[in-house]
Structure formats: structure tokens, C-alpha cells
Amino acid sequence: MGKLEHLIEFYYSCILEVRIETRARRMKKFQQLSARQQRMLRFMTAFVRENGYPPSIREIGDECHIGSTSVVNYNLNKLVDAGFIERSGRVSRGLRIVRGIPDVETPTRLASSQPLQVALVGRIAAGEPISLPDDIAHHIDEDDYISVPPALLGNSDASEVFALMVRGDSMIDAMIQNGDIVILRRQNTADNGDMVAAWLKDDSETTLKHFYRRNNMIELQPANPAYQPLQVLPGNCEIKGKVLSVMRAYA
């Protein structure tokens, strides 16, 4: 065996050792969790694998026989502290598995509901605004539909919602990343803190941001410190929809 072959063999043996060591550390950290937290993490990991989106607080509580949402939240925060998940309180089902458990099997009882067809009307900027038709919620070609699990629509009917693919990273701290698909309910009003698709009339551009009223201005706030909020006059800002949920790019 030549010198190059020895180097390649050594390189791959080092990679294997690192992977084994990383897995061992992860399993050790998992074993340090309480039995309840282990069960919750196993359920969430299996749920995401089967459905492509995270479970709700109520679904986690039902699975783990926890009647109190505050107890569920307490244990979820422990999983955040341990580095296994990330949370966003501003998005429905705002959980993301950071460290999954490799040996989790998908329970057969997690049966997916019949998906609904939702119009995918284009892309939206999570960064600098991008051009889209000002009637984005109605600018639909007949083939522009995606299958969406009913749970992501909440109480909304499929005819009341539309979907946009995210471009950019200005909402990353709200756990919305480049390539994710946001599901929105069609509406033209918003409360402070709502995540919305906002049409900037003067610029003929649309952006995804948190909505706030500040004195006589509208502030469209990103969820990434690398970006500055947008200050616009109320007459220049038209709400096209409120974000209900997110379909992850990895789903």
C-alpha cells in the first residue's frame, strides 16, 4: 500500500472515530435526561420523521400523559437547555430537533392525515423585499399547489390559506430558514407581533416580517440581528396574510 493510500485510510479512520465519539457523547447526554424528557424527545423525533413537521404542545402532552401545558413547556425548555431542540413561541408548532436520537423508530400509530391542497403562489423575501404581484394570494396557476398536512392549517379552511417559499435568512431566529414554506391565512389586518406577508406599495415588493405599530409608522421587524427593521408609512404597507405555520425545507 502506497503513502497516499495510507493517508486516505488514516483520514477515514479518523472520521469514523469522531462519528463514534460524537454519537457516544450524544447518547450519554440523552441518558442524563429524565425519563419524561427522553420520552418526549423520542416522540418528537419520530413524529417529525413520519409527518415532516413537529407535534403541537397538546400532542406531546397527550403522548406523554401530561395534562398540564406548563409541565410540557417546562420539560421542553429543559430539552432546549440540553441542546436537543430549539423553540419559537411565535410560530405554530415552533419546535426544531437539533439533536435527534438515531435509534428512534416511527411508531405505527402515527398515521398521517389526508393532506390538503394549498396554493403555492411564489417566493417571499426573508431579507431584502422582493417583487411579487400585489394580489399574491390570488395570483395562482392551476398547477401551483402543494400537499399540506391539515394540522398546519389550524382552524382555517384550505380555501382561506396560501403558501409562499422563503428566500433569505432574516427570520432565522424565528426558526424560518431559506427554502422553508410558510403557510398563511389570507387577511389584511395584523396585531403587534404577528408574522405577516407585507406588500410595500411604493416599491412593489413583498417581505416576510413581524408586524408592529410604532406611533404613526409601521415597523416590519426581522428575526435576525444582521438585518434592520423597515419603517414604513401605514399607507405604503398592505398586509396580505398572517403566517400560521412552517413546512421545513428538510421535510
What residues act catalytically?
170, 209
Phi/psi of residue 209, each to 5°?
A: -155, 170
The number of C-alpha atoms within 13 Å of 228 and in the hemisphere containing its C-beta is 3
Q: For residue 247, what is the enclosing H or E element? A: strand 237-247
Residue 104: CB atoms within 10 A of its CB come to 16
CA–centroid distance for 246 within its chain: 4
Q: Are 190 and 237 in contact (CB under 8 A)?
A: no
DSSP string, 151-204: GGGTT--GGGEEEEEEESSTTGGGT--TT-EEEEEE-S---TT-EEEEEETTTT
Q: Is the dihedral of CA 51, 100, 167, 176 positive or negative?
A: positive
Q: Are 219 and 171 in contact (CB under 8 A)?
A: no
Please state, in angstroms and as integers, the Cα–Cα distance from residue 157 to each residue in 54, 94, 147, 153, 160, following that order. Answer: 20, 21, 14, 7, 5
Size (the chain), residues: 251
Please state, in angstroms and as integers, the Cα–Cα distance from residue 246 to each residue in 16, 50, 98, 147, 243, following that order. Answer: 35, 16, 16, 13, 8
